[in-house]
Amino acid sequence: MKARYSGNDAATQQEFTKVQELIYELRVDQVMTTPVITLSPESPMNEAKELMRFHRVSGLPIANDGAIRGILSIEDVIRWLERGGGESPAADWMTRKVQTVKGDEAAVQAIAKFGRYKVGRLPVVDRTGAMIGIVTSGDIIGRALRVLDARYREEETRRGSARCTLDELVGEGSAFVLRYEVAPKDFQHAGYAATRVKRVLDGLGMDRKIVRRAGIAAYEAEMNLSIHTDNGGVLLAEIAPEAVVIEATDEGPGIVDVSQALTAGFSSAPDWIRELGFGAGMGLNNMKNAADRFDIESEPGKGTTVRIQIDLNAGRGAQ
Amino acid sequence: MKLADVARVLDAKPISPSADIDLEVACACAADLISDVLAFAGAGALLLTGLTNPQVIRASDVAGVVAALFVRGKSPLPETERLAAEAGITLLQTPHSMFESCGRLYEAGLREGGGPTNTPREGSVEERA
């Protein structure tokens, strides 16, 4: 088994990465069997044989008052049977030199010892040397598989429930809209709506790149409402099965020259806003870069509407 | 690169005592403009900045920045710290300048990460005063 974990085949290596991580992550006391079935050195071999058969174990620690005296394996029992199987204490057949592993060591230490000492089980001791359990390679593999299984299920449930929530909430094929009022020149709260939009999309289990693009577009749109308008505006995020659409609408002052406003580096932001790190003249460009479809309509004195569409199934959706 | 390595290279200290310095950063972005944070900070990035207002954290949050480093010994505003804690963004502070900080991190092997267009442009790493 040790050879399997250290195999040099690249694909195998990849597959075992998660398991390898686990055997470093899991502690021996998390995988061991407890309580331990033990026998005293004076116990007759017949009792040892019956105990192993009853509990379906292939080895038993022999102990006195919690102190390990030896270990009796199925091979020892076979040896005893071959020599007639007469009345005899476990102490006469057990292996006296016992390898142990500490409870707070990583499971990988136990695996190393199975290989090094050619043993199938190791009594587990605490730092004072008292026996607290027993561990076999099967225990470690079993536990590792259960942990992997639990993590896989958790991930599936998370994705599954996220999908269900969207359908349950709005009905299949429907869209829903998040609506935020954005106040003018309120830098304490500006950006709040964008981070909420991001959380909602995250919560729906959407692709991270989609979430990021929608977040960026919403943030820039929200900032424009906050920085450039007299009365603030409304930020909408429409979440539909085929697209996420961010729309910012305000009632003025409007953009005099839209193509100039779209020029990278052009900004009409005043100095005090630039000092806060805004006014790079990149806002509309960032929105455009995040969009599969970008529309802007503006009329001086009337207001501006910016619309950013991010497709979920086509275009750059999966990018 | 781990934040612990970033801190070592830049003589930086974590701002909150509970900062996770074992955190791994995938790439870095240096910007003093919010729009540049959005345009150039890739997911999992470390942001180097001279901005200490809360907006730098909101922008970092939507861009997927995991840690922000304030250059020239700048300290964030209390509201900035609060938002960072809420968004799970680790904050650090270095006494070095933006130029020096970028140079040291580059030398240590950290590179710029892709933004939404994944096309880093000229001047995107340099200090913008």
Portion of chain A with pLDDT greater than 70, in percent: 88
Tell me, yes or no, if B85 comes closer than 8 A to chain A by beta carbon.
no
Q: Tell me A91's DSSP state.
A: G
Please tell me the distance from the alpha carbon of residue A189 to that of residue B117, in angstroms, as a whole number.
28
Between CA A254 and CA A198 the distance in angstroms is 27
What's the gap in Å between the CA of A124 and the closest CA on chain B? 31
Strand order in the sheet with A233-239: A176-182, A233-239, A243-250, A303-311, A293-299
pLDDT in tens, B53-72: 999 999 999 999 999 999 99
Q: What percent of chain B has pLDDT over 70?
A: 88
Q: Tell me the pLDDT band of B96, cut-offs 50, 70 and 90.
A: very high
Closest partner CB to A216 (pick from B32, B55, B116): B116
Task: Give residue B116's identity as a one-letter amino acid code.
Answer: P
> Is the ipTM here above 0.85?
no
Averaged confidence pLDDT in chain A:
84
Distances (CA, A) of A142 to A19, A30, A33, A60, B23: 11, 12, 11, 20, 30
Comparing CB atoms, the residue among A190, A191, A208 nearest residue B43 is A208
The answer to whether A307 and A250 have CB atoms below 8 angstroms apart is: no
With CB atoms and an 8 Å threshold, state whether A192 touches B87: no
pLDDT at A135: 92
Low-confidence stretches of chain A (pLDDT beneath 70): 1-18, 158-169, 314-319
Q: Which secondary-structure segment (H or E) carries A64?
A: strand A59-64
What residues of A are in contact with residue B116 (Cβ under 8 Å)? 212-213, 216, 286, 289-290
pLDDT of residue A273: 81
pLDDT digits (tens, 9 = 90+) for B72-89: 999 998 899 999 998 999
**Dihedral Cα A216, A219, A221, A222, nearest 10 deg:** 170
Alpha carbon distance A65, A15 (integer Å): 44
Question: What is the reported pLDDT for A4?
Answer: 43
Determine contact: B116 vs chain A, CB below 8 A.
Answer: yes
Instruction: Report the C-alpha gap between B81 and A242 in whole angstroms.
Output: 37
- Burial readout A5-14 (b: 16 or more C-beta within 10 A, e: otherwise): eeeeeeeeee
Interface-testing mutation among A263, A278, A284, A287, with chain B (most B C-beta atoms within 10 A): A278
- Among the listed ranges A199-208, A270-279, B34-43, B104-113, which one has the minimum average pLDDT value? A270-279
Q: Determine the Cα–Cα distance for residues A67 and A122; give it in Å rounded to an integer.
A: 14
In order of their start, the domains of chain A are 2-145 (3.10.580.10), 175-311 (3.30.565.10)
Contacts of A213 in chain B (CB under 8 A): 116
Distance CA B11, CA B31 (A): 20
Q: What is the pLDDT of residue A5?
A: 42
CA distances from B66 to A211, A248, B4, B43, B95 (A): 15, 28, 14, 8, 21
DSSP reduced 3-state for B85? helix
CB atoms under 10 Å from CB of B20, counted, come to 15
Q: Give B120's pLDDT tier (boundaries 50, 70, 90).
A: very low
Question: CB–CB of A284/A263 below 8 Å?
Answer: no
For residue B91, pLDDT over 80 is answered with yes
Inter-chain CB proximity A212 and B35 less than 8 Å: no
Residue B78 tokens, joined: 């209390």
Look at residue A267 in the predicted model and tell me its pLDDT.
84
For residues A151, A155, A156, A157, the Cα torsion angle rounded to the nearest 10 degrees is: 100
**Cβ atoms within 10 Å, residue B8:** 12
Q: Is it the case that residue B47 has pLDDT exceeding 90? A: yes
Indicate the SS3 state at residue A132.
strand
Structural domains in chain B plus CATH codes? 3-107 (3.40.1390.20)
Asked whether residue B25 carries a pLDDT value surpassing 70, the answer given is yes
pLDDT at A66: 74
Token pair listed for B117 = 């267009």
Distance, in Å, from the CA atom of A124 to the CA atom of A110, rounded to the nearest integer, reads 9
Give the pLDDT of residue A149.
80
The first and second tokens of residue B74, run together, are: 């700048």
Q: Which of B33, B62, B87 sits opposite A216 (nearest CB)?
A: B62
